[in-house]
Structure 1
Amino acid sequence: MKKKTWIMISVISLVIIMISVSVYREVYAKGPSVETTEMKEEEISSLLMIPGTVKLEEEQIIYPSPEKGELKELLVSEGQEVKKGTVVARLQNPQLDLEMEQYKLSIESANLKINQLDKQLKQLKEKEKSLANQVGKEEAKKQLDPEYQQIEMEKKLANIELKQTNLQKEMMDKRLSDLEIISTIDGVVLSVNKLASSSLEVSMAEPIVHIGKLDNMIAMGLLSEYDTMKVNSGQKVVLRSDAVPDQEWTGEIIKISLLPEQTQTPLQGGSQAVQYPVTTKISGDSKSLKPGFQIIMEIETDKKIAHVLSLNALHDDGEQPYVFIVQDGKASKKNIKTGITSGEKIEIMEGLSKEDKIIIKGPDSLKDGMDVTIK
C-alpha cells in the first residue's frame, strides 16, 4: 500500500515538474513581455511656474503728511465709490493760515503805497501847472524833476515788492490747495483710518485712506535671470490659488522689469540671486480674487512642433538619459538627447527614429540585450 502511495506521489510530482518546465519555456524562454510605443509629432510647450501675489493695478494710498498739516476731516467712508478729483480729506495748518494772512496784509499795504504815490504824482502835476504860469514850463519842469524822479523810483520799488508778494502768495495758495486731498482714480474706498494721523510712529505704517479699482487686478512675481530669457510681454499665463482651489484665471504678461529687485536673497556661496519683477494682467472675472492672495503663475514658453515621448519610457543613470527599444526580439539600450518637458511628455531631439518600438512598460530588471516579447 505504501509502495503504491509513493508511486502516486512520484507521478504527480513529475507531472507538476513537466508543467512548470513547459510554462517556463513558454514564458521565460521568449523573454519577459513588454509594452511598446512610438514617438509622435505634436505641439509641445514648456511650463514655467513661479509664485506671485495678487495686487490692484490701480490704487491710491494716502498717508498722513505732518510736513503739510494735521488731518482736519475725512470726507469719505469705507466702501464708498469715488470719482477721480473727489476731495476725500482735508488737512489743517495754522502756521500756513497765519503766513497767508501776512501775505494778504503785505499785498494790501503795497497797493496802498502805490495808490498814495499815484496821488503824489497827480498833486505834483498840478503843482507843475501852477508853477509854469509863474516861471514857464521848462523852468517849472526843471525845478520839480527831482521830486518826479523820487516818486517814480518809490513807485517802481513798490511795484516790485507787490509782484514778489503776489508770487509768494501764489506759492502759498498751492500749499493751501495741498491741504485738500483728492482721489487720483475712479475706485472704491477700501479703508479709512482717522487714528493713523494721531502719532508720527503710526503714520509711517498706517494710511489715512486707501482707494482701489477692484475691476483691474494684476499678479506680481519674480523671474530668475535665466527665465527672463524665455519670457516676453504678451505671453499667456494661467493662474491658480490655493484659496480658490476649483478655479483658474488667465492672464497676459504686460511688463518684465529691466532692473532686478533691489532686495536680493543671498545664496549659500555668498552671492545674491538676481530676480526680476514680472507683472501679469488678469483677464475675465476676478471677483473671487483679493489683493494679497498668493498664486502660482504658469507661463507657457518654447511652444513648438516636436517629436515627443512619454516620460514613462525614459531612464536616467545619472550620466545620460536613455530608452530601451525592441530590436530583433531583444531590448536594445539607446542614448538620447532630450529637450523641453511638458506635463507627462518630453521632447526627443536625437537618438531615435519614428519606426523604433520604444519600451514603455517592462520588468524592473530590464537590461541591454535581454530577450523580450512585445504584448
Structure 2
Amino acid sequence: MKKKTWIAIGVISLVIIMISVSVYRQVFAKGPSVKTAEIKQEEISSVLMIPGTVKLQEEQMVYAAPDKGELKELLVEEGQTVKKGTVVAKLQNPQLDLEIEQNKLAIESANLKINQMDKKIKQLKDKEKTLADQVGKEEAKKQLAPELEQLEMEKKLANLDLKQTSLQKDMISKRQAELEIKSTIDGVVLSAKKPETSSMEGAMAEPFIHIGKLEGMTAAGLLSEYDTLKVSSGQQVILKSDAVPGQEWQGEITKIAILPQQSQAGLQNGSQAVQYPVTVKISGDTNSLKPGFQVIMEIETEKRTAMVLPIDTVHDNGDKPYVFIVKNGKAQKQKVKTGITSGEKIEVLEGVSKGDQVIVSGPDNLKNGLEVTVK
C-alpha cells in the first residue's frame, strides 16, 4: 500500500513538472511580446514651427512731440470707439501762435507796400502826360524813365516778399493743422493718458494715445535664412497659444520681408546670423486672442504622398537611423533612410519593404537577434 502511494505521488509530480515546462516554453521561450506595423503609402506634409507674437492688423500710436506742441486737451478715453478723422487730442504751441501773428503782419506790410508802389506809379504816369504837353511825349518818357523803373523794381521786390510770406503762411497752416490730432483708422482707443514730463524729455517710449482695429489680427515672427527658402506668401498656417489651450486658428502668410532684421546684440558681437520678419493674417474668430499673446505658428512647407511608418518605429543612435524588423521570430536591426516628419508619421525612403513587420513597441532592451513574439 505504501509503495502504491509513493508511485502515485511520483506520477503526480511528473505531471506537474511537464505542465511547468510547457508553460515556461509558452511564456518565456517565445521571447517578449512586440507590436508591429507595416509601411504604407499616405499623404504627408512637412511643418515648420516658429514662435510669433499677436499684433493688431491696423493701429495708430501717438507719441509726445515737444517740437510740435504740448498737449492741451485729450478728447477720448480708453475703450471708446472712434471713426477715421475723429479729433482725439489738441496741442498748443505758443511759439507757433507768435509766428502766425508775425506772418499776418508781414503779409499786411507787403500788401501796403505794393499798394503804395501802385499809387506812385499812377502818379508818375499822370505826371508824364502833363509833361508831354510841354516837351513832347518822347522827351517826357525819357525824363521820367529812371524814376518809373525804380518804382517798378520796388514793386517787384514787394511782390516777392508777399509771395515768400504766403509760402510761410502755408507752412504755418500745416503746422497749425497738426495741433489737431486725428484718428487715421476706424478702431477702439486702447489707451489714452496724458504724457508725463519725464517721458516727454526722455526716450518717449510710450504713446499717450493708442488706437487699434480689433477686427482681424496678425502674428509676426522671424525666419532663418534657410527657412525663407521653404516659405512663401499664401502658405497656410496653424496658430496655437498656451494662453488658450485646446484652441487653434487658421492663418495665411501675407508678407516675408526682403531685408533681414538683425538684433543690436548681433551687430555688436559681429554675428552674421540674420532673421527675416514674416507676417501671418489670422482668420476666423479672434475674440480670445489679444495683442501681445505668444503663439506657435505651424507652417506647412511641403505636402506629398510617401511611404510612411509610425515615428516610434525609427531609432537613431547618432550614426544612422534604424528600425527593427521581425524575421523568423527574431528582431532584426535594419538601417533606413528617412525623409520628412509630420506629426506621428515619418517618411522612409530606403530600408523597409512592403509587408515587413516593423516593431513599433517592445522591451527597452530590444537587441538585434532577440527572439520576439508578435502580439
> Which residue in 1 is equivalent to 2:240?
240
Residue 107 of structure 1: aligned partner: 107
Deviates more, 1:343-352 or 1:2-11: 2-11
2:64–2:195 CA contact under 8 A, matched in 1: no
1:173 corresponds in structure 2 to 173
Q: In 2 relative to 1, CA 15–196 (structure 1 residues): closer, same or farther, beyond 3 Å?
A: same
Q: Report the equivalent of 1:62.
A: 62
Change (3 A) 1:124 1:74: same
Q: Quote the offset at 1:300 in angstroms.
A: 1.8
1:168-207 alignment runs, 5 A limit: 168-196=168-196, 200-201=200-201, 204-207=204-207
Counterpart contact for 1:196–1:206, Cα < 8 Å: no
The Cα shift of 1:41 comes to: 0.5
For 2:265 and 2:22, locate their aligned partners in 1 and report how far apart those are by CA, in whole Å.
67
One-letter code of the match for 2:82?
V
TM alignment of 1:250-289, pairs within 5 A: 250-263=250-263, 271=271, 273-289=273-289
Cα deviation, 1:188-237, whole Å, max 9, x if unaligned, reads 11111124467524671232211111102111122233322222221111
1:297 is aligned to 297
| Alignment coverage as a number of residue pairs | 373
Match of 2:78 in 1: 78
| 325-334 or 111-120, which deviates more | 325-334
CA RMSD of aligned residues (A): 2.6
Residue type of the alignment partner of 1:325:
I
With over 3 angstroms needed to count, the CA separation of the structure-2 counterparts of 1:7 and 1:49, relative to structure 1, is farther
Cα distance, 1:20 vs. partner? 2.0
Q: TM-score, normalised by structure 1?
A: 0.90
Matched with 2:341 is: 341
Alignment partner, residue 146 of structure 1: 146
User: SS of 1:100's equivalent?
Assistant: helix
Summarize the Cα distance change of 1:305–1:137 in structure 2 as closer, same or farther, 3 Å threshold: same
Give a deviation string over 1:100-158, Cα, whole Å, max 9, x none.
Answer: 11111111111111111111111111111111112221221122112211211111111
- Tell me, yes or no, if the aligned pair for 2:237 and 2:253 is still in contact at 8 Å: yes
2:225 counterpart residue number: 225
Q: Which letter does structure 2 place at the counterpart of 1:105?
A: L
Distance of 2:83 and 2:124 partners within structure 1:
60
Matches of 1:275 and 1:12 in 2, distance apart? Answer: 80
2:369: which partner in 1?
Answer: 369
What CA distance in whole angstroms lies between the structure 2 residues aligned with 1:144 and 1:201?
Answer: 63
Distance across 2 between alignment mates of 1:26 and 1:153: 124
Query: Whole-Å Cα distance in 2 between the matches of residues 272 and 142 of structure 1?
Result: 81
Rounded Cα–Cα distance in structure 1 between residues aligned with 2:215 and 2:160: 54
* Distance change >3 Å, CA 79–CA 32, structure 1 → 2: closer
Instruction: Flag structure 1 segments of 5+ consecutive residues without an equivalent.
Output: none
Q: Partners of 1:12 and 1:264 in 2: how far apart?
A: 87
Aligned match of 1:19: 19
* Contact 2:50/2:223 (<8 A) preserved: yes
Residue 62 of structure 1 aligns to which amino acid in structure 2? V
> What is the letter of the counterpart of residue 64 of structure 2?
P
Output the CA distance in 2 between the equivalents of 1:201 and 1:153. Answer: 49
- Aligned residues with identical type, % of pairs: 72
Residue number in structure 1 paired with 2:134: 134
Check whether the contact 2:44–2:304 (CA below 8 A) recurs between aligned residues: yes
Q: What TM-score comes out, normalization by structure 2 length?
A: 0.90
Deviations 1:237-263 (A, max 9, x none): 111222222322111111122233221
Partner amino acid, structure 2, of 1:229: L
| Counterpart AA for 2:56 | L
Contact map agreement 2:199 2:205 (CA 8 A) in 1: no
User: Which segments of structure 1 move beyond 6 Å, counting only runs of 4 or more?
Assistant: 1-9
Unaligned 5+ segments in structure 2 are none
